[in-house]
């Protein structure tokens, strides 16, 4: 059969495992919510429970300690978690970094890092954004200079999520400066490389940024001053990081889409339950009014479409389809997921009236997190640029 929309037994097990692993926390929802939202503490217990299911091992083959189920399984797992109101950005970042190491790292690197990621023992963050290079990665200035068997890395990254709790960050650098490249007339995509760096290494300074959008996690300025990193920790070849980078961003976009689908589902369920209960005129629930039901129904239609697109993108990645094709699916899924999830949260809040803003119902917290998806990890405008150019063959304006 060429097209099959049935999930496998294994994939259903992953979804069920997410429900089961959260059961021990059912009575402590309030306590955990306060810990994440108010105290901004990383929920170690939850991380351990989630990773205990093997979710982080899904992108990792058995030979490196994983279960080899693939990115689609991680997407299903993250969606199932978000559907129950739980999410953790470091799960997305760790899974994307694992996929990057698996597809581009050397054998000894895979043996060193992947088994620890599979068990949840190691958390990873990802650092590409710089103050002078946001949407244009080719402008980044963080420089990794070769020094014998090591590199010395200096530069500055901004908005790096979870750099305080991550054991390692995947850091995108220049191995040849843009100035040298431009002077030699070489393509701007040349001269990049990715490294695995310990955020606690000597020479790294983390400065917290008062940023909103990701619950329970802080963004940092990461300042690096001659940080010594062994060449062992370079992912891919010197100067040849462009392809490594762009292939590695696709899983992040796919997993962000899956999470957005889960959040939208969660909010629609809450809204529908409330709309069935709340009665104000002639004993009818407010859900009987089409002003309430139609916007929710419209988002439900959109959710189902985005979910298919997200699974399609994850499947394409797992099938190792051409990276350009995976990139198109991943970008389109992430664009649609952000817009759909923003609408889902907005309509759910409207359904609950004033209670949409109450901390107890919790919908208002999602407002910021889904809105972030229109901007990060890549902006809606940059995705539309990509689709216009690569899918429609239109000229670049920039
Ligand atoms: C809460 C949060 C968490 C984050 N976590 C991380 C992280 O963990 N790691 C990391 O590396 N980064 C992280 N980021 C950074 C994020 O990925 C960037 O903010 C995002 O990619 C946009 O870059 P910028 O902020 O520099 O905006 P800019 O690139 O300066 O863009 C500004 C505006 O101009 C538009 N624009 C720019 N160029 C074009 C163009 N050619 N055509 C049309 N419009 C254009 C953009 O779409 C945007 O609307 C995070 C950001 C936030 C807010």
- Regarding the beta carbon of 378 and ligand 1, being less than 6 Å apart is answered yes
- Measured by CA distance, the residue closest to atom 21 of ligand 1 is 378
- Regarding the beta carbon of 216 and ligand 1, being less than 6 Å apart is answered no
- Residue 3 has a pLDDT of 85
pLDDT at 34 over 90: no
Tens-place pLDDT, residues 342-368? 999 999 999 999 999 998 899 999 999
CATH number of 9-122: 1.10.540.10
Mutational pocket test of ligand 1: of 40, 91, 135, the residue with most ligand atoms within 8 Å of the beta carbon = 135
- Regarding the beta carbon of 127 and ligand 1, being less than 6 Å apart is answered yes
Task: Give the residue with greater pLDDT, 34 vs 220.
Answer: 220
Average pLDDT of the residues in 120-148: 97
Tell me the CA–centroid distance for residue 134 and ligand 1, in Å. 5
Tens-place pLDDT, residues 178-193? 999 999 999 999 999 9
Task: Check if 9-122 and 243-390 are the same fold.
Answer: no
- Regarding the beta carbon of 251 and ligand 1, being less than 6 Å apart is answered no
In order, the DSSP letters of 228-276 are: EEEGGGEES-TTBHHHHHHHHHHHHHHHHHHHHHHHHHHHHHHHHHHHH
**Residue 110 has which token pair?**
């895979």
Band (175; pLDDT cuts 50, 70, 90): very high
Tell me the CA–centroid distance for residue 57 and ligand 1, in Å. 30
Count the Cβ atoms, other than its own, within 10 Å of residue 89: 24
* Domain extents in the chain: 9-122, 125-239, 243-390
Tell me the CA–centroid distance for residue 178 and ligand 1, in Å. 20
φ/ψ of residue 292, rounded to 5:
-95, -45
- Regarding the beta carbon of 134 and ligand 1, being less than 6 Å apart is answered yes
- Regarding the beta carbon of 214 and ligand 1, being less than 6 Å apart is answered yes
pLDDT at 38 over 90: no
Tell me the CA–centroid distance for residue 145 and ligand 1, in Å. 26
Mean of pLDDT over the chain:
96
- Regarding the beta carbon of 219 and ligand 1, being less than 6 Å apart is answered yes
Domain 243-390 has CATH 1.20.140.10: yes
Band (87; pLDDT cuts 50, 70, 90): confident
The topology (CATH level 3) of 125-239 is: Butyryl-CoA Dehydrogenase, subunit A; domain 2 (2.40.110)
Tens-place pLDDT, residues 124-135? 999 999 999 999
What's this model's pTM, rounded to 2 decimal places?
Answer: 0.97
What is the atom index within ligand 1 of the atom nearest the CA of 397? 41
- Regarding the beta carbon of 160 and ligand 1, being less than 6 Å apart is answered yes
Tell me the CA–centroid distance for residue 132 and ligand 1, in Å. 11
Band (242; pLDDT cuts 50, 70, 90): very high
What is the atom index within ligand 1 of the atom nearest the CA of 161? 8
Tell me the CA–centroid distance for residue 379 and ligand 1, in Å. 6
Tens-place pLDDT, residues 193-210? 999 999 999 999 999 999
Q: Which of 273, 300, 267 is nearest to 367 (CA)?
A: 267
Tell me the CA–centroid distance for residue 136 and ligand 1, in Å. 9
In order, the DSSP letters of 120-184 are: TS--EEEE--BTTBSS-GGG---EEEEETTEEEEEEEEEEEETTTT-SEEEEEEESS-HHHHHHH
Q: What is the rounded distance in angstroms from the CA atom of residue 167 to the CA atom of residue 199? A: 7
- Residue 1 has a pLDDT of 61
């Amino acid at each position: 059969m060429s097209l099959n929309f049935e999930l496998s037994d294994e994939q259903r097990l992953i979804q069920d495992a997410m429900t089961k692993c959260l059961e021990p926390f059912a009575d402590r929802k309030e306590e955990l919510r306060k810990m994440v939202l108010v105290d901004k503490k990383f929920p170690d217990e939850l991380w351990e429970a989630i990773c205990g299911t093997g979710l982080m091992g899904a992108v990792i083959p058995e030979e490196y300690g994983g279960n080899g189920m693939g990115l689609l399984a991680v997407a299903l797992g993250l969606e199932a978690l978000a559907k129950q109101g739980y999410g953790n950005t470091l799960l997305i970042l760790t899974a994307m970094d694992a996929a990057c190491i698996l597809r581009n790292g050397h054998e000894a690197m895979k043996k060193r890092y992947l088994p620890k990621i599979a068990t949840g023992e190691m958390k990873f963050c990802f650092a590409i954004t710089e103050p002078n290079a946001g949407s244009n990665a080719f402008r980044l200035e963080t420089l990794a200079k070769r020094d014998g068997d090591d590199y010395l890395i200096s530069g500055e990254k901004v908005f790096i999520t979870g750099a305080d709790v991550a054991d390692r960050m995947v850091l995108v650098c220049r191995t040849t400066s843009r100035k040298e490249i431009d002077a030699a007339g070489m393509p701007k995509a040349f001269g990049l490389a990715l490294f695995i760096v310990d955020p606690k290494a000597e020479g790294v300074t983390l400065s917290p940024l008062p940023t909103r959008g990701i619950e329970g996690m802080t963004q940092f300025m990461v300042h690096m001053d001659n940080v010594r990193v062994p060449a062992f920790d370079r992912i891919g070849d010197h100067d040849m990081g462009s392809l490594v980078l762009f292939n590695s961003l696709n899983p992040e976009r796919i997993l962000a889409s899956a999470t957005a689908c889960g959040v939208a589902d969660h909010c629609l369920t809450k809204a529908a339950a409330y709309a069935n209960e709340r009665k104000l005129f002639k004993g009818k629930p407010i859900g009987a009014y089409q002003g309430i039901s139609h916007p929710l129904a419209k988002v439900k239609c959109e959710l189902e479409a985005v979910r298919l697109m997200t699974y399609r993108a994850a499947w394409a990645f797992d099938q190792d389809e051409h990276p350009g094709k995976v990139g198109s699916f991943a970008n389109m899924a992430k664009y649609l997921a952000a817009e759909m999830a923003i609408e889902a949260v907005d309509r759910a809040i409207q359904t609950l009236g004033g209670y949409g803003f109450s901390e107890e119902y919790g919908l208002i917290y999602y407002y910021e997190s889904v809105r972030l998806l229109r901007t990060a990890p890549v902006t809606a405008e940059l995705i539309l640029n990509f689709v216009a150019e690569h899918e429609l063959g239109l000229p670049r304006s920039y």
